[in-house]
């Protein structure tokens, strides 16, 4: 593999890791507050559809982004209502959101556009365009550093840079602010937080809404930046891969970045190299495509027992009277 090919693989890694990273950070906020959310997939899918549908209708990608975020927030509100207000089973609520999104997106898309459950292709104005960083073209011919800057760091959409900036922002919010301290405390010992006079319900709803915001951006990125429109089930299990990355990272933001880049690298390798020959043995393309999902199973089997989730995770809080 030459240097330019390596840069291209890493560039694809960054693009493919972005929705995983946003969804992983979304789950991080929710689960740190004690609300398990396996509905990341459904929220991303719903956001992908509405962002693409509104962008295709209006020709404005920013309105599409807002629509995607709004749809994801609605599903987050439903999850919060079921699991926080009515103290329902959080896992069942998440599964219901996934089924709801999978069915509704195709049904509404077919009713609106009559294109077999997909939206029209997005063109300029309806998609997020790549951003060229300053001096990217001028430095392109500089050995080593030029291609890294012009090909790897430059040329991504604004949502990619936003996703990577969200990592230090999340770390600061969770570990450097009073809000983050209370949020983490709600996930560990909600009774102590309640005794201190802080609303457990309010903090958990805030965490769920932040989760919805990030899932909305992730879904919008899929439909309006990574691809040019919505197709059925386009999230392709990314929400579950993000959950695996979250467990692998042990609910820590910087570790989540590394885990998502690892999954993104596997996807990039699968797309770049269809059949890999190792001596006389050829790894088929189907095996390469399955690598991210195989790693998901391996991580869940190997780390789920070693990674300790928040102690109050998955348990509804009942205030003592």
State pTM to two decimals: 0.93
What kind and span of H or E run contains 283? strand 281-283
What kind and span of H or E run contains 281? strand 281-283
Maximum CA pair distance of the chain? 71
Please give the backbone phi and psi of residue 278, each rounded to the nearest 5 degrees, phi first: -120, 95
**Beta pairing class for 281-283 and 276-278:** antiparallel
- Domain assignment present for residue 29? The answer is yes
- Domain assignment present for residue 268? The answer is no
- Domain assignment present for residue 160? The answer is yes
Handedness of CA 261, 242, 211, 196 (dihedral sign): negative
Model confidence band, residue 239 (pLDDT cutoffs 50, 70, 90): very high
- Domain assignment present for residue 243? The answer is no
- Domain assignment present for residue 291? The answer is no
Count of structural domains within the chain: 1
- The percent of the chain in helix, strand and coil, each rounded to the nearest 5, is 70, 5, 30
CB 164 within 8 A of CB 150: no
- Domain assignment present for residue 57? The answer is yes
Q: Which of 41-55, 147-161, 199-213 has the lowest mean pLDDT?
A: 147-161
Q: Which of 102-111, 212-221, 235-244, 265-274 has the lowest mean pLDDT?
A: 265-274
> What digits encode the pLDDT tens for the residues 143-190?
888 888 888 899 899 999 999 999 999 999 999 999 999 999 999 999
- Domain assignment present for residue 275? The answer is no
Domain enclosing residue 81, as ranges: 3-238
- Domain assignment present for residue 320? The answer is no
Residues 6+ apart with CB under 8 A from 44: 19, 23, 72, 215, 218, 219, 222, 235, 238, 239
């Amino acid at each position: 593999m030459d240097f330019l090919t390596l840069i291209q693989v890493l560039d694809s890694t960054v693009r493919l890791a972005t929705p995983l990273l946003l969804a992983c950070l979304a789950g991080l906020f929710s689960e740190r507050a004690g609300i398990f959310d396996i509905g990341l997939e459904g929220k991303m899918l719903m956001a992908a559809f509405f962002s693409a549908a509104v962008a295709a209708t209006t020709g404005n990608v920013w309105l599409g982004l807002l629509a995607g975020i709004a749809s994801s927030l609605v599903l987050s509100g439903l999850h919060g209502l079921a699991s926080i207000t009515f103290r329902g089973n959080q896992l069942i609520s998440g599964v219901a959101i996934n089924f709801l999104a999978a069915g509704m997106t195709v049904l509404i898309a077919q009713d609106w556009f009559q294109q077999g459950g997909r939206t029209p292709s997005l063109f300029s104005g309806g998609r997020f365009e790549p951003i060229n960083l300053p001096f990217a073209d001028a430095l392109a011919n500089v050995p080593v550093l030029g291609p890294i800057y012009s090909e790897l760091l430059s040329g991504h959409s604004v949502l990619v840079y936003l996703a990577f900036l969200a990592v230090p922002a999340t770390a600061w919010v969770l570990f450097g602010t009073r809000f983050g301290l209370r949020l983490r405390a709600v996930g560990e010992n909600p009774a102590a937080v309640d005794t201190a006079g802080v609303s457990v319900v309010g903090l958990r709803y805030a965490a769920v809404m932040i989760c919805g915001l990030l899932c909305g951006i992730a879904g919008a990125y899929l439909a309006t930046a990574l691809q040019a429109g919505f197709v059925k089930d386009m999230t392709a299990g990314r929400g579950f891969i993000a959950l695996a990355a979250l467990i692998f990272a042990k609910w820590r933001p910087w570790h989540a970045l590394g885990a998502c880049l690892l999954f993104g690298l596997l996807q990039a390798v699968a797309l770049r190299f269809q059949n890999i020959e190792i001596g006389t043995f050829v790894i088929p393309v189907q095996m390469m495509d399955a690598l991210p999902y195989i790693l998901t199973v391996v991580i869940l089997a190997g780390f789920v027992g070693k990674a300790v989730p928040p102690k109050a995770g998955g348990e509804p809080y009942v205030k003592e009277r």
